Amino acid sequence: MGLQNYRVLFMAVTGILALLVASPALSRLLVYPRTEFFTELSLLDLNHRAEDYPYNITRGQNYSIFLDVANHLGYTAYYLVEVKFRNMTQSAPYDFGPPSNQTPSSLPSLYNVSAFVADEETWEEHLTFSFDYANTTLSTVQMHSLRLNNADLNMSGYSITWDSQKKAFDGFLFFELWLYNMTSVSFQYHERFVVLRLNMTLI
């Protein structure tokens, strides 16, 4: 192999190595077309993890979580979160099948929170809540109120029946995501919700 061939080989290897070294930097500069547009909705514990959620609830005790909404829609979006509560027999959001079959719960919202979120940004809300309730029979808990971020919300009419299989008074605090539609000039269900399953312990 002649000197000229060695020179070409050396330059080729050097060029390949330079591209490999520069590729992380180049990846930051290159703009790839976006193919997916969506919103993330999540609940996190106080350590910002999806792990240590409150479950066994004591009447009057404060509990905290974080609610996150991450916007990947390609534009600044106006979101509304409806906070609802249900027992095992009441209406839950339905999220199976095509979007046309995904519907919110028919239960009324107890509390609303809204925010404008820029594209590729995350909005986070720290939520602190407590419940007031009492057992009316050995198998029924009557809910009185929910205190959420210093707002007292009436829950009269809500009750929870003892689940003999799970051995718990299970209630579900859930959060439905709604998105403002500029065409209809109204909020529409954004086909996303997250749920906290809670056991109302009796003392």
Q: 125 and 110 in one domain?
A: yes
Q: 95 and 9 in one domain?
A: no
Q: 48 and 27 in one domain?
A: no
Residue 36 is predicted with a pLDDT of 83
- Point out the residues of the chain with pLDDT beneath 70: 1-35, 95-101, 203
Residue 59 is predicted with a pLDDT of 96
* Residue 59: CATH number of its domain: 2.60.40.10
Residue 80 is predicted with a pLDDT of 98
Q: Could you tell me the residue range of the domain that residue 3 belongs to?
A: 1-32
Q: 45 and 14 in one domain?
A: no
Tell me which long-range contacts 165-171 makes (C-beta under 8 A, separation of at least 24): 168/199, 169/141, 169/199, 169/200, 169/201, 169/202, 170/87, 170/88, 170/197, 170/198, 170/199, 171/85, 171/86, 171/87, 171/143, 171/197, 171/198, 171/199, 171/200
Which tens digits make up the pLDDT trace of 17-46? Answer: 665 555 565 555 555 566 688 999 999 999
Q: 194 and 102 in one domain?
A: yes
pTM over 0.75: yes
Residue 138 is predicted with a pLDDT of 87
CA distance 198 to 175: 14
Residue 202 is predicted with a pLDDT of 85
